Every structure is written in C-alpha cells, then in structure tokens.
C-alpha cells in the first residue's frame, strides 16, 4: 500500500476532477505499480484502454437488463482507470511526449464516439423507438463537429501566441462573467462522462448520460461554428 500511495502522490495531477482524485487515479496507481518495472509502455496502456472501452460498448449493446447496463458501466470505468494510468506511468518514468499526449486525446475521442453510439443502440433496443438512433446520430455529428473545430483552434497558426501569465486572473470578474463561468463548469462536468456514467447505470437510467451529453455537445458545436463564422466570415 505504501508503494501505491507514493506513486499516486508522485504522478497525480493538481488540480484535478473529484472523480479522478478520489476514485480513478488511486486505482490507476495500482496499475502503475504493477507495470512500472515491466516493458509495458504508456502508449500500450492507452491503446489497451480503447479495447476495454470497446468491450464495454459491446456489453451496452448486447447484454440487456439492469445488470447488463451496470456491467457495461463498470467495464467502461476500468477503461478510464487505464486512461489515467498511461499518463501517470509516463510521468513516473519521465517519458512524457507530445505524441503520447496526442495519442491519448485521439483514443479519448474515439471512445466517446463508441460509447455514444452504443448507448443509442441500447436505448433503441430497450424502447423500440427509432428516435434514440436519430438522437445518437445527431449526437455523433455535433460531437465530431466540436472536436474538429477544437483541433482547428489549437493549431498554432490559428491560436497565436499564448496569453501572458496571469492575464486571465487580472480580468474583472463581473456577475455575467461569473454566471458564464458557472455554466461552463457544469458543461465541463457533463462532458467528462466518466465522472457520472456509473451513477446513471446504478440508477438504471443511462438516459441521465445520453441526453445531457448530447445537449452540451450540441451547444458547444453551435458555439464553435459561430466562432468560425465570426472569425473568418468577413475575410
């Protein structure tokens, strides 16, 4: 236990999400301790997380009933534990790389697509209503739109030089800005579905993930398209 606690303290992120800090990263530290003296690489763990998430998606589609839903959510959370472990192992070994970071981002987005599609199919099979498939398709469109524009925005040719250190902190926090910040905080929580999808499964209502996740991605896609239109529409 001492080795696990030591690895956790050495490799955790600060600040981090509640679910990561108190659930997934402590479990990921167990994985890191198990493989730190082996030839297993962080990138291999990243790729294995995708396969575990794919297995979870298959369970969502193929295993009916409450226990199938719960089993799929648990296996998916195991994939997220691996997703935490890859970066922790890289930090422990001092082998962080931009390529590894981009691979992790890519796998995260593929998992988001797979999960959303699997849940849409599950809801369609449970309720027999094609609207769930249509919502799932729409969700995939807005999710991919948001990801594509975010990737575009992060290009150095588009993003430009980073802001001066402390510039954001010097902005006056008006009431409107605080309200926007609160809304963005809620949206970030909903985007980070590993923080709550298990709770939705325990409640027996995976819709608690499905509808909010699609809604927040739709809002982000609209915001992103508006940004592109305003920035480039006059040039």
pLDDT in tens, 147-183: 999 999 988 888 877 766 555 555 566 777 787 778 8
How many CA atoms, within 13 angstroms, populate the side-chain half-sphere of residue 212?
A: 16
Q: Is the model's pTM score more than 0.75?
A: yes
**What are the residue ranges in the chain where pLDDT is below 50?**
none
Write down the domain spans for the chain. 2-232
Structure-token match 């493989």, residue found: 35
Would you state the pLDDT for residue 82? 97
Which option is the CATH number for 2-232: 1.20.120.1760, 3.40.190.10, 1.10.10.10, 3.40.50.10490?
1.20.120.1760
- Around Cβ 91, how many Cβ atoms within 10 Å? 17
Would you state the pLDDT for residue 180? 73
Closest by CA to 91, choosing from 2, 1, 9, 194, is 9
Which residues fall within 8 angstroms of residue 56, CB to CB, at 6 or more apart? 72, 73, 75, 76, 78, 79, 115, 118
Would you state the pLDDT for residue 169? 52
């Amino acid at each position: 236990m001492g080795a696990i606690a030591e690895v956790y303290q050495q490799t955790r992120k600060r600040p981090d999400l509640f679910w990561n800090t108190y659930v997934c990263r402590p479990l990921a530290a167990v994985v890191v301790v198990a493989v730190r003296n082996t030839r297993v690489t962080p990138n291999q763990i990243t790729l294995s997380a995708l396969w575990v998430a794919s297995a979870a998606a298959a369970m969502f589609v193929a295993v009916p009933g409450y226990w199938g839903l719960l089993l799929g959510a648990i296996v998916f959370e195991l994939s997220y534990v691996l997703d935490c472990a890859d970066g922790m192992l890289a930090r422990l070994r001092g082998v962080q790389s931009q390529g590894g970071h981009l691979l992790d981002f890519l796998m995260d987005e593929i998992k988001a697509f797979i999960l959303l599609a699997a849940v849409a199919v599950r809801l369609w099979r449970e309720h027999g209503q094609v609207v769930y498939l249509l919502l799932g398709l729409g969700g995939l469109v807005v999710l991919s739109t948001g990801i594509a524009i975010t990737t575009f925005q992060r290009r150095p040719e588009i993003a430009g030089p980073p802001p001066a250190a402390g510039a954001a902190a010097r902005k006056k926090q008006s009431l409107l800005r605080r309200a926007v910040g609160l809304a963005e905080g809620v949206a970030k929580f909903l985007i980070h579905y590993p923080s709550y999808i298990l709770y939705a499964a325990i409640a027996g209502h995976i819709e608690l993930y499905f509808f909010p996740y699609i809604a927040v991605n739709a809002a982000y896609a609209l915001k992103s398209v508006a940004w592109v239109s305003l920035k480039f529409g006059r040039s």
